[in-house]
Amino acid sequence: MSGVASGRSFLFVPGHRPDRFAKAAASGCDAVVLDLEDAVGEDSKVAARDHVRAWLDDGNHAVVRINGAGTPWFDDDLDAVAGRALAVMVPKAESRASLDAIARRLPTGTGVIPLIETALGVAGAVEVCSADAVVRPAFGSVDLAAQLGVDHRSLEALRHARSAVVLAAAAAGCGAPIDGVTTTVDDEDVLRADLAHAVELGFTGKLCIHPRQVAAVTEAFTPSDADVAWAREVLAAVTDGSVAVHKGQMVDRPVLLRAQAILARV
């Protein structure tokens, strides 16, 4: 579960492409996300579920995105991944009650990643993130943008929604959220701009759709040498828990907490 809670790069793999599972696991990502939902057409849903179950039964590890409640595949998906998946990613998460119901059908300790990707989900994000089984939320930029009628590539259009998810995770006391995908796979400048924005807002991980995105994502969410040095200096400056001054800047409890958080992510 630690890889899910602290992971930086989460690489989606279509569930009906078992030939890509091992390649994804070898990509250097922190977690593979086997997808039974958007990446899989209706005619391939059952085969995808069988491929995912078989791969997990072989001793491999992955998060699984299931089809949502109310779809014809939801119950069988949940039964197939229970006791097998590292965590279950739930699409279009909008209420704590629905997540609690899912958690009751999973072995104790199985984490849930609610994918907040609707207006209702964003509006109720604190409630969603407060479900006991939630490890951390993920942000679904593409689906939300489609509902709002905005460009999913626009950082400004989704700034409020992204911040709402970050605030909700903090308010609920769960892990910091995972940012949505960058759909451009052949322009690293676009990816890095998206990453800088996500880091600035408080995300600590990102969903990836191609192995070539993994290295940049991992780098972006890993504290820099300068940040690590600053954090260590701050902690060293405070010897008795009192307010101190480091390089002309006041160091009090909130600054100490930030320093500790940086070192915890190394």
Mean pLDDT, the chain cut into blocks of 10 residues (266 residues total)? 87 98 97 97 98 98 97 98 97 98 96 98 98 98 98 97 98 98 96 97 98 97 83 77 72 78 78
CA distances from 185 to 123, 192, 201 (A): 30, 11, 22
What gap in Å lies between CA 81 and CA 11, rounded to an integer? 18
Residue 132 CB neighbour total at 10 angstroms: 10
Instruction: List the beta strands (DSSP E) in the chain.
Output: 9-14, 31-35, 63-65, 87-90, 111-116, 138-139, 178-179, 205-208, 244-246, 249-251
Token look-up 């072989």 returns 58
Strand 31-35 relative to strand 87-90: parallel, antiparallel, unpaired? unpaired
Quick one: pLDDT at residue 261? Answer: 78
Quick one: pLDDT at residue 241? Answer: 62
Contacts of 81 (CB under 8 A, 6+ apart): 52, 53, 56, 64, 66, 88
Instruction: Please give the model's pTM, rounded to 2 decimal places.
Output: 0.91
Residue 245 CB neighbour total at 10 angstroms: 10
User: From the CA atom positions of the chain, what is the Rg in Å?
Assistant: 19
The candidate with the shortest Cα–Cα distance to 81, out of 93, 67, 98, is: 67
Q: Which domains does the chain have, with CATH numbers?
A: 2-220 (3.20.20.60), 225-264 (no CATH)
Q: Is 114 helix (H, G, I), strand (E, B) or coil?
A: strand
Quick one: pLDDT at residue 240? Answer: 67
The candidate with the shortest Cα–Cα distance to 81, out of 111, 47, 52, 40, is: 52
Phi first, then psi, for residue 114 (nearest 5°) are: -75, 130
Angle at 66 between CA 160 and CA 195, to 5 degrees: 35
CB 137 within 8 A of CB 111: no
Structure tokens at 18: 């078992």
Kindly state the greatest CA–CA separation across the chain: 64
Quick one: pLDDT at residue 252? Answer: 77
